[in-house]
Structure formats: structure tokens, C-alpha cells
């Protein structure tokens, strides 16, 4: 029998390799281990994306709220018309009452018998003529009341439809509000996941970027080339510098993007509709090469974000949650179009 050979011991290099492999395996995340926390830059990018995604539903919410206000006004006017018609019917009923009573008192007797019983035929004939007129007036009044009751029923149906529309509009507004608030809540949760030091770093990075972009943090006076109404609008906008962005807000303490453009031009006596899309639709379009201070700038598309051109390749806008009204380079976001109120 041959001698039994012992297995060759592993070399040091082999031991090192096995050890590294084992270490690598132990470092791989298991289901029980938490996923690695996102970095400050990752959080910042995710937060920016959530804020950007919140802009479109914010504008939809603004449009729905405007429709809701109009429906409320219409429903109120319809209620007033209902009340007036009901009052008219009540007054007619009061008039018809005595007429009906007079007819009842004279009715039920054959006219020839009544003539025979009458001591004065002339007086009887006069009374009969009066009663005939009374009966005619009563018929007219009844017809008028029937028409009014028909109108009242139609008005009630109209009010019912308007109230139904209003209820549906309120539900849509709530849906959009929940969507926006959901995105903002996610952003807050991400921000709250950072340590105080990480948040401070993120804010410092943002401030550096804003400074590099030329953003201003406090109210200033417009001293550019605009004149007339455009200057008045820009004077107003500059006075809002540093005020916070707040979704759905039209001032005076905070603004969303279309809230700022609308308020600025309103100060100049020009009434603009509420949303980015509506402002785009009513404005006279101008080419980027023909921009004048006061023109409204649309970024990304025709319904997401807008601001006002101030001249010298810059614009003023209410950016997004967590930031203030600021001045930025025109091309800091993808330029889509411009319009002149």
C-alpha cells in the first residue's frame, strides 16, 4: 500500500483571496440590511425633480379653482333668480285669491234665473259684465302663474346641474391639491432624512449656485429700459424679490409663478387669466430675438412655468417651493416661448 498523502495546505496568496471573497460576500446587502442612504447630491436632485413635477398639477389646480369660483358665482346668481321667481308666484297667488273668491260667490246660479231674481236688470247686466272681466283676469293670472312655475322648475334644474358641476370641480381640485401636497411631502421627507450638517451643505451649495446665476434675494428697484405699463409691471415684480414661492398663491406675501406674472401686470392695469396655459393662450407671441422687458417667458412648455423678461438676458420669476422670487439668466431653464400682454 502506498503512503497516505496529506492535502497540500493552501498558500498565503490563496488564503488572502478567499478572505477577500468572504469579506466581499459579507458586505453585500441582505434583505434584512437597510438600503444605503442617498447622498446629499442625490437628495437634492430628487427634491428638485419632485418640485418640478409639482408645477404642472399646481397650474391645473389653479385653473380648476378659477372654474370653481365662476361656478359658485353662477350658482349664487341662479339662487337669486329662483328667489325672485318664487316671490312673483307668491304675489300672483295673493292676487288670484280674491278673484277666485268673487267668481265662487257669483257662480252656481243659472244666468236666466239670476236675471229673473234681479230687481234691476241693468244692474244685473253690469255685474255680469264685471264678473266676466274678473273671470278673464283670473284666467290670465293663472296662465301667468303656470308659466312662472314652469320657469321656476327649469331654473331649479339649472341650479341643480350647476351645483353638480361645482361638486365635481371641487373633487378635481382636491385631487390636484393632494397630488401636489403628496410630492411636497415626499420632498420634505427626503430633506428630513439629511443630517443638520448635510442640510447646511445643501443650502450653501444652493446659495452659491444662486449667486453664480445672479439671483437676488431682496426687493430691488427696476432700472432697465422698460417704459409704460411694462415698467409698472416690472417695478411691482422687483418689489416682490425675496418673497417666498407658495403654490396656488397670488400674493401679496407669497406667489407661485403665474401668480407673480398675473399680479405684476394687474398692477399695471392689465388683467391676465390665472394659469400659465391661459396666459400663454391670450398673449401675443413674440420671438426670442424680439424680446422686450415685461414680456412673459414660458419655460419647458406652454403650461408648466413662467416669469417675466427684465432685459439683458435675464428674467424674474417665482421658482418653486423652498425658494424665493429671484432673477435668473433667461436660459437657466429650457426656453419655450414668450408673449406680450
Per the residue annotation, which of 50, 75, 215, 257 is the catalytic one?
257
Closest CA to 330 of 265, 275, 216, 312: 312
CA gap 123, 129 in Å, rounded: 10
- Cβ count within 10 A of residue 307: 28
Per the residue annotation, which of 44, 183, 274, 305 is the catalytic one?
305
- 126 given a catalytic annotation: no
- 257 given a catalytic annotation: yes
Residue identified by cell 387669466 is 273
- Cβ count within 10 A of residue 257: 27
CA gap 233, 217 in Å, rounded: 19
Per the residue annotation, which of 44, 183, 243, 317 is the catalytic one?
317
Q: Which residues are catalytic?
A: 257, 305, 317
Amino acid at each position: 500500500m502506498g503512503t497516505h498523502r496529506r492535502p497540500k495546505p493552501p498558500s498565503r496568496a490563496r488564503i488572502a483571496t478567499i478572505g477577500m471573497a468572504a469579506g466581499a460576500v459579507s458586505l453585500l446587502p441582505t434583505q434584512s440590511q437597510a438600503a444605503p442612504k442617498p447622498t446629499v447630491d442625490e437628495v437634492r436632485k430628487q427634491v428638485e425633480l419632485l418640485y418640478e413635477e409639482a408645477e404642472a398639477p399646481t397650474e391645473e389646480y389653479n385653473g380648476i379653482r378659477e372654474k370653481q369660483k365662476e361656478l359658485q358665482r353662477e350658482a349664487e346668481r341662479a339662487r337669486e333668480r329662483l328667489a325672485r321667481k318664487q316671490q312673483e308666484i307668491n304675489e300672483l297667488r295673493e292676487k288670484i285669491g280674491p278673484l277666485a273668491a268673487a267668481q265662487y260667490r257669483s257662480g252656481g246660479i243659472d244666468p236666466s234665473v239670476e236675471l229673473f231674481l234681479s230687481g234691476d236688470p241693468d244692474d244685473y247686466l253690469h255685474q255680469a259684465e264685471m264678473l266676466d272681466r274678473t273671470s278673464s283676469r283670473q284666467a290670465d293670472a293663472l296662465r301667468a302663474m303656470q308659466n312662472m312655475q314652469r320657469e321656476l322648475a327649469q331654473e331649479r334644474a339649472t341650479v341643480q346641474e350647476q351645483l353638480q358641476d361645482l361638486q365635481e370641480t371641487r373633487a378635481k381640485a382636491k385631487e390636484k391639491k393632494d397630488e401636489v401636497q403628496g410630492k411636497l411631502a415626499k420632498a420634505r421627507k427626503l430633506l428630513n432624512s439629511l443630517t443638520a450638517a448635510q442640510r447646511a451643505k445643501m443650502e450653501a451649495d444652493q446659495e452659491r449656485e444662486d449667486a453664480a446665476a445672479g439671483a437676488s434675494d431682496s426687493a430691488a428697484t427696476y432700472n432697465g429700459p422698460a417704459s409704460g405699463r411694462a415698467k409698472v409691471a416690472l417695478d411691482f415684480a422687483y418689489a416682490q424679490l425675496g418673497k417666498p414661492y407658495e403654490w396656488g398663491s397670488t400674493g401679496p406675501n407669497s406667489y407661485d409663478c403665474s401668480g407673480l406674472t398675473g399680479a405684476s401686470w394687474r398692477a399695471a392695469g392689465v388683467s391676465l387669466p390665472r394659469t400659465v396655459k391661459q396666459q400663454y393662450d391670450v398673449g401675443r407671441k413674440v420671438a426670442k430675438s424680439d424680446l422686450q422687458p415685461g414680456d412673459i417667458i414660458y419655460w419647458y412648455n406652454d403650461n408648466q412655468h413662467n416669469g417675466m423678461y427684465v432685459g439683458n438676458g435675464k428674467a424674474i420669476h417665482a421658482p418653486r417651493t423652498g425658494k424665493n422670487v429671484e432673477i435668473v439668466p433667461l436660459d437657466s431653464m429650457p426656453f419655450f416661448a414668450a408673449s406680450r400682454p
